[in-house]
Chains A and B, each alone.
Chain A
Amino acid sequence: MDSRFAARARLKDAAVLLPFTGLFLLMPPFIGLFPPDARLAGIPVMVLYVFGVWGLLIALAALLARRLSASERRPPEPPPG
């Protein structure tokens, strides 16, 4: 029981942390690290970076949503009023 609560607490923390991670990665000064001229396979690295982080955050959010649903199934939440 304890370990399940602990796992759920960790998930909640991750859910809170995720948007701030995204904010950090997509805000200056960090996002300014990618020079506009650098290219990878013809595509500007900055564009790749922005969309790459975006995709990564989506994947993490999906994973988190699934885990949260799974962990919630056992201890039921109070029903919406």
Chain B
Amino acid sequence: MLSGDVVLAAALIYVALLFAVAFFGDWRAGQGRLGWLSSPVVYTLSISIYCTSWTYYGMVGSATRDGIEFAAVYIGPMLVFIGWWLLLRKLVRIGRVHRITSIADMVSSRYGKSTALAALVTVIAVVASTPYIALQLKAVVASFEVISGAHADGGMFGPRGDSTLALGVAVGMAVFAILFGTRNIDVDERHHGVVAAIALEAMVKLVAMLGVGLLVVFGIADGPGEIFAHMPAQLLRSEQVLGPRWVTVVFLSAAAVVCLPRQFQVTVVEIGNERHLRTASWLFPLYLFLITLFVLPIAIAGLTWLPAGANPDMFMLTLPLWAQRPEIALLAFLGGFSAATSMVIVAAIALSTMVSNHLILPVALRLPRLSLAASGDMRRLLLRSRRISICLILLLGFLYLRLNARFNPIASIGLTSFAGIVQLLPALLGGLFWRQATGRGAAAGLCAGAAVWAYTLLLPSFKGDWLLSAATMADGPFGLHWLRPYALFGLDGLDPLVHSVFWSFTLNVLLFVGVSLLRDPKPLERLQSALFIDVFRDPLGDTSRFVSRSATTSDLNILAQRLMGVDEARQLLEGGAGSDAGANEPIADETLIAELERKLAGSVGAASARAMISQVVTGETISLSALLRIADETERIRAYNLQLENQSRQLAEAAAELRLANERLTQLDRQKDDFLSHVSHEVRTPMTSIRSFAEILLDSGDLERAQVQRFLGIIHEQSLRMTRLLDGILDLNVLEDGAASWMLTPVDPEVALDNALSLCEGLGSASGVRPRRLARLDGVRVMADVDYLTQVFINLIANAIQHNTSDAPRVLVSSAVREGMYVALIEDNGPGIHPSERERIFSKFSRGWAHTRSATQGAGLGLAISWQIMQRLGGSLKLLPARPGGQAGNCFQVRLACCPPTATPMSTRAPSPLAD
């Protein structure tokens, strides 16, 4: 037990330290040297005001009743922070872009800067926060009583004497909040001194919690094993704990860490750099992890070693006292004090900003004395209204404490508060992600949700002392059974918290969505929704494209001066906004007006800023069509991108096809050129000799007869050769053209072969080669034109005879039927085709035998013609690969499909070989 004086002295010294730190922080910020003040760690520590004295004291109490349920209150925020990419990132960006000052400002700004909505959110926030603030006061008072032995059993705050202490604490916090929270009307609403102090308090909280935890686990007990050995068996009844209540509490806490005014203040408004959020995304969950780590051991230890009936909410203090460690008890007290004060201070600042901006200022603007026509500095009014608001908020908390807090454990008060503030969630989330959401919908949802919450959770928390009598609680108002607060519409048997959250949230969402769908958003709502939802796409940029209004520069100047002071007003009007809209112009344009409105919104909130601006501007129009165009732009851009992608793919395909076609064309062109040059070359040689011999005959008349005969013979022979060549070219043309279809009839290929052999007989006997014929087949029929087929055989046999320069020339002709195909082979033992020529042997003018020293020079068309003919006949002509190691020579293979002997004549049009 510590004496009350010691504790009080320690507390006062600690408070003095906090004031000093806050003062130092403000001073440094004033010097412009932010340094560690705007570091991600300080940012994270300031977020840890989530851990209030509810965490500090109430969590242990909760753990003694519901086991691990306390963890749910921290799992929700943990999930929200590790999922910062989804929600917090957007909130923070919007908060910075639009200079949001509070959650009420956020909601009202999104829904067309509605003053009414801002006021509604403010009222709900204040009502929902009041129990929470009361809870902190109660915790401080109770902890003081326990540690100084005012109530040895740790009994709760009595209705009598200790009000003075609670009032004293409340007044102290109000002084701090007023001193450091309302020093000036900031343009960015940041409070460096407060942030520095709460960062220090966050450290003290954590150290104290860990200190008590370590004392319990390793000082009192002998490690975690022993602690958990004492655990009451029913403490981890998973089937009861991990049910609807677990889900509800996780949901509530996740929503609360976003919606609570003080959390919004530190997370969104006070952030110095968006990158800090990234660090906080894991550092804040780590803080929560550490601070909850020892909760269960402390709870178990308290249940085990402290006398029965000891208040579980105060185990944090009573355990060190029981263990005779007063210094740790004092540290624990300061930790709890830190947790309570930091929360109350920030909550008071956040709520006072909301109250003064959204409740007091709109009323004040309507008073003739304060309207714009009157002169004077409006900042004094704002500061004063905030200071009064802080006092009012703390007073409310104090009153709630007097009315209520005798009965309820800390944790249940905290959850009551959460369930109220969570009503803001649909409007907030809907505003960030749903374009159709309207202010009417948000207001309807908020009203319904808050009313149901108050009826089913807040008022019953007074246990029949206030507004709701015990009889009403049991039987419903006016005996209407289905309106019982704990069993609304007959939904009985649920935990009161789950029941209340279920009904309030269901009605809230239903009305929000339903009413939003009833009507189109107003133009300003549409503009704001686009600005909020597309904050990362930033397609809108300057809103002056959609809004047009005008005001005289002098009016704007007066307005700016009243809120920002003379210097800053001049700065804004002369240079701040757009170069062309200076103070010299008598009429200000939208750019300047928007800039001023944005600046004002940074201190009085969007709704009040708009109200003020509206007093001086005229002829406001919002171009809805331009807005719709832009709103659809992102959609269109996406669609357009997709289209572009498709098109480029199609283009690529088309380009590839074209390239291929081009290659083919160039190839054809080259072939044609080759062909022409070949032809001219082939024609030129005989032409030259014909001409020269003709010249000789003409010029010299005294030639011998024999000489003349010889020359004429040469001329004749050369002209024959030319004729052959031209015939060949014509044949080939006809074949390649493929215009005329051939009458194909079943013929005996052996007959064609016989004809060819007999026609080549003369040629063979001249060269001394006699083609040898192997066994003749009988009864084979193929679909062919017998003349063309004969020509193919003649060409092949003639080639084999003429180009055979071996010493003992041999030509072998054989035929067979294999697998329904008629196959004829023409082999020779000549020098063969040069390997490099084999590939091109069937193209025009290829001279496969150029290297042979055969007597006859062919035109180089025979094989090409034969190949074409076989194609047209539907068969094939191939040069079989040289047998490795075998004798030299070529082996040409002719293949044609056999047909049944009864087949009727048919007409076929064979594919042109050039086309494929």
Q: Which residues of A line the B interface, CB within 8 A?
A: 12, 15-16, 18-20, 22-23, 26-28, 31-32, 34-37, 39, 41-44, 46-47, 50-51, 54-55, 57-62, 64-65, 68-69, 78, 80-81
Contact = CB atoms under 8 A, between A and B. Distances in A.
Contact of A19 (B79, B226, B274): B79
Interface of B: 68, 71, 75, 78-86, 93, 96-97, 223-226, 228-229, 231, 233, 236-239, 242-243, 246-247, 250, 274-275, 278-279, 281-282, 285-286, 289, 293, 296, 538
Contacts of A78: 538
A80 B82 contact: no
Contact of A16 (B78, B83, B285, B296): B83
Nearest to B535: A81
B109 to A, nearest CB: 14
B250 A27 contact: yes
Nearest to A27: B247
Nearest to A57: B82
B238 A46 contact: yes
A81 B286 CA distance: 31
A28 B243 contact: yes
Contacts of B83: 15-16, 18-20, 22
B97 A81 contact: yes
A36 B228 CA distance: 12
B74 to A, nearest CB: 8
A34 B238 CA distance: 8
30 contacts: A15-B83, A19-B79, A22-B79, A22-B82, A26-B250, A27-B250, A28-B243, A28-B247, A31-B238, A32-B238, A34-B238, A42-B223, A42-B225, A42-B226, A42-B228, A42-B229, A44-B228, A44-B236, A47-B68, A47-B296, A51-B293, A54-B78, A57-B78, A58-B282, A58-B286, A58-B289, A61-B282, A65-B278, A78-B538, A80-B93
A43 B224 contact: yes
A31 B293 CA distance: 18
A20 B225 CA distance: 32
Nearest to A11: B85
A60 B286 CA distance: 12
A46 B81 contact: no
A32 B79 CA distance: 19
A28 B225 CA distance: 27
Nearest to A60: B82
A50 B238 contact: no
B238 A80 contact: no
Top 5 A-B residue pairs of the complex, sorted by shortest distance between their CB atoms: A19-B83, A42-B225, A36-B236, A15-B85, A62-B282
Which of B83, B223, B233 is the most central at the interface, judged by chain A CB atoms within 10 Å of its CB? B83
A27 B233 CA distance: 22
B75 A54 contact: yes
A44 B228 CA distance: 7
Contacts of A59: 282
Nearest to A42: B225
Nearest to B598: A81
B228 A39 contact: yes
A41 B274 CA distance: 43
A28 B246 contact: yes
A16 B97 contact: no
A54 B289 contact: yes
A16 to B, nearest CB: 6
A53 to B, nearest CB: 9
Contacts of B237: 36
A65 B231 CA distance: 38
Nearest to B96: A80
Nearest to B89: A15
Nearest to B293: A51
A31 B242 contact: yes
A32 B242 contact: yes
Contact of A32 (B93, B223, B233, B239): B239
Contact of A46 (B223, B224, B236): B236
B282 A46 contact: no
B96 A81 contact: yes
B894 to A, nearest CB: 56
A61 B82 contact: yes
Nearest to B99: A81
Nearest to B97: A81
A55 B289 contact: yes
Given A43-B224, A50-B71, A81-B96, A35 B285 contact: no
Contact of B228 (A43, A55, A60): A43
Given A36-B237, A42-B229, A44-B236, 17 more contacts: A12-B85, A15-B83, A15-B86, A16-B86, A18-B83, A19-B83, A22-B78, A42-B225, A44-B231, A46-B68, A47-B296, A50-B68, A58-B286, A58-B289, A61-B81, A61-B285, A80-B274
A27 B239 CA distance: 12
